[in-house]
């Protein structure tokens, strides 16, 4: 069970919502089937961070359950469908545009000393993001994904080298100019440990790109806590303050943070961070 303590250290959290059944936006995961569904949301009065607490056994969620429940046997079909979206409907198109704009400015002063930019996408999923990066830039792309089916898809269909390992157990011998955490740290029990690990894998003058669900904006939507930002696979839902705190506690410097509503309708916080020294 997730510990009831905020990323800012606050232990006195306020219960704001109780789920007695699976919310409308939530995928029916294997670990919730044939179980009495009960889950609570707690909010930090200090930083507005939200934590999801339940007692259902989700240990194997990302070792097959997640991909099976989301895509069944339609991994390639889903990949193809998302890739065919026009730019005005594609979250990924604008994600890459944003990364391109930032990276050009970031690397401007040192570009003559860089032989080739390398990028690690952690929790690559269907590899929509790196597929777009590969087509647009001459970057050395590496995907990291713990789900074996998704790894196989990435290597066979997308043609990108893939690490099928736990990110926290990844050795720091190889470092990267860019590490991306696209809708990843809301899925982990300890986001500070995760972002800290990313910082240790950064090259000098590199940066980390982070996207997370925006708790504050999502809560004001007409569907409120029934929205996908608050589903069971998100033990953490961030505020702008709590994301800033996670970055600071991970020994990184926040360079830029913004909130947006993506073409898909997702409420999102987007941040860039770099080493403090």
| Degrees to nearest 5, angle at CA 269 with 96 and 261 | 75
Give the per-residue pLDDT at 113: 76
Band (73; pLDDT cuts 50, 70, 90): confident
Give the per-residue pLDDT at 111: 73
Band (74; pLDDT cuts 50, 70, 90): confident
DSSP assigned state of 232: T
Residue 133 has pLDDT above 80, yes or no: yes
Q: What is the mean pLDDT of residues 126-145?
A: 95
Residue 272 has pLDDT above 90, yes or no: yes
CA 171, chain centre distance (Å): 21
Residue 1 has pLDDT above 60, yes or no: no
Average confidence score pLDDT of the chain? 92
- The two tokens of residue 90 are 């594609």
pLDDT in tens, 169-218: 888 788 999 999 999 999 999 999 999 999 999 998 999 999 999 999 99
Strand order in the sheet with 13-19: 13-19, 39-44, 50-54, 236-237
pLDDT in tens, 139-166: 999 999 999 889 999 999 999 999 999 9
Give the per-residue pLDDT at 70: 76
What percent of the chain lies above the pLDDT cut of 90?
Answer: 79
Considering only 31-35, 41-45, 128-132, which range has the smallest mean pLDDT?
31-35
Q: What is the mean pLDDT of residues 252-259?
A: 97
Give the per-residue pLDDT at 211: 98
| Degrees to nearest 5, angle at CA 264 with 260 and 265 | 55
DSSP assigned state of 69: H
Give the per-residue pLDDT at 2: 66
Q: Identify the structural domains of the chain with CATH numbers, from first to last.
A: 62-275 (3.40.50.150)
Give the per-residue pLDDT at 182: 97
Residue 22 has pLDDT above 70, yes or no: yes
CA-nearest of 131, 134, 165 to 148 is 165
What percent of the chain lies above the pLDDT cut of 70?
Answer: 98
More confident residue, 32 or 129: 129
Q: What is the mean pLDDT of residues 207-233?
A: 97
Band (266; pLDDT cuts 50, 70, 90): very high
Q: What is the mean pLDDT of residues 66-74?
A: 76
CA 73, chain centre distance (Å): 23
């Amino acid at each position: 069970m997730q510990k009831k303590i905020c990323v800012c250290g606050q232990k006195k959290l306020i219960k704001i919502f109780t789920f007695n059944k699976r919310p409308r936006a939530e995928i029916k995961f294997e670990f919730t089937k044939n179980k009495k569904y009960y889950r609570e949301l707690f909010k930090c009065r200090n930083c507005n961070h939200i934590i999801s607490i339940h007692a259902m056994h989700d240990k194997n969620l990302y070792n097959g359950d997640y991909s099976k429940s989301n895509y069944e046997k339609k991994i390639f079909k889903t990949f193809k469908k998302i890739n065919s979206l026009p730019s005005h409907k594609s979250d990924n198109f604008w994600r890459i545009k944003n990364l391109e704009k930032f990276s050009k400015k970031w690397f401007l002063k040192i570009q003559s000393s860089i032989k080739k930019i390398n990028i690690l996408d952690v929790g690559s999923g269907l590899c929509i993001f790196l597929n777009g990066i590969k087509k647009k830039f001459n970057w050395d792309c590496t995907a990291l994904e713990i789900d074996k089916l998704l790894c196989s898809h990435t290597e066979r269909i997308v043609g990108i080298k893939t690490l099928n390992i736990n990110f926290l157990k990844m050795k720091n011998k190889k470092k990267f100019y860019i590490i991306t955490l696209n809708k990843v740290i809301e899925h982990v029990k300890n986001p500070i440990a995760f972002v800290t690990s990313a910082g240790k894998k950064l090259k000098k003058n590199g940066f980390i790109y982070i996207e997370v669900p925006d708790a504050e904006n999502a809560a004001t939507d007409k569907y409120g806590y029934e929205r996908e930002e608050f589903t069971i696979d998100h033990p953490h839902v961030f505020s702008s303050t709590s994301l800033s705190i996670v970055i600071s506690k991970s020994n990184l410097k926040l360079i830029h943070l913004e909130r947006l509503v993506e073409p898909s309708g997702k409420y999102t916080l987007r941040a860039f961070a770099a080493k403090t020294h």
